[in-house]
Amino acid sequence: MRIDIITIFPKMFAAVLNESIIKRAQNKGKVKIYVHNLRDYTLDKHKKVDDRPFGGGSGMVMQPEPIFRAVEDLKSKASKSKTRVILLSPQGKRLNQKIAKSLAKSQHLILICGHYEGIDERIRQYLVDEEVSIGDYVLTGGELPAMVMADCIVRLIPGVLGDRNSLNFESFAGNLLEYPQYTRPANYRKMKVPAILLSGNHQKIADWRKKEALKITKKKRPDLWRMKWTR
């Protein structure tokens, strides 16, 4: 998979993309992630990417020219692939595991990070295939959402996760939250680990964990309990 990210803040991405699982996935050749400075696609000497809104009003609007040029250039760089152009925007469909799974099947994603008060509507209309939000809260731009998307997509690419965090386990666990976990010491300041976990009876331990996971999910996330996105 190839992921191209278009942003006016390219430096925000290095720390996230060059660490941990995403870095390993790139080193293993499972994904190539490129971050592009939108200003590199401007044609004027001031590298201007936004302007005042027609019709008046406060704030600035991102102009079509740099974004169209960037997307066209990046599509041509992965010419044999089917490309999905995604705009990170508060107006988008809310990202969930089902959407992530569908996106993880793509060969080529272009993520556009919106900013300012908005972007020229023609970008939405003629360039963008899908708009995605990461939740109902206000951020300052699409950069953190693009990183969230890259993270949750990359870990779904076959061969990216090791056995320890495998997707098999995830689907086995279904739509449940995690059961309570403990490690040494068994007695810490008189707070004791449930005896069953020290019993060595693997069947009983598995049953206990399942029961606890059900209890915790019903209590803390009754909404999840009714959902089926991890199945």
Q: Contact residues for ligand 9D3 (CB under 6 A)?
A: 88-90, 114, 117-118, 133-135, 137-142, 145
What is the chain's Cα-based Rg? 22
Question: C-beta of 16: minimal distance to ligand 9D3 in Å?
Answer: 15
* Closest approach of ligand 9D3 to the CB of residue 85, in Å: 15
Instruction: State the amino acid at position 58 in one-letter form.
Output: S
**Cα gap 63→117, rounded to integer Å:** 12
> What is the rounded distance in angstroms from the CA atom of residue 187 to the CA atom of residue 130?
52
Query: Cβ 60 to ligand 9D3, closest distance in Å?
Result: 11
Q: Considering beta carbons, is residue 62 or 74 the nearer one to ligand 9D3?
A: 62
Q: Which helix (H) or strand (E) is 132 found in, with range? A: strand 130-133
For residues 41 and 51, give the distance between their C-alpha atoms in angstroms, rounded to a whole number: 16
Which CB sits closer to ligand 9D3, 89 or 217? 89
Smallest distance from the beta carbon of 186 to ligand 9D3, in angstroms?
43
Element (H, E) at 62: strand 61-62
CB-wise, 66 or 179, nearer to ligand 9D3? 66
- Identity of the residue, 117 or 178, whose beta carbon is nearer to ligand 9D3 in the bound complex: 117
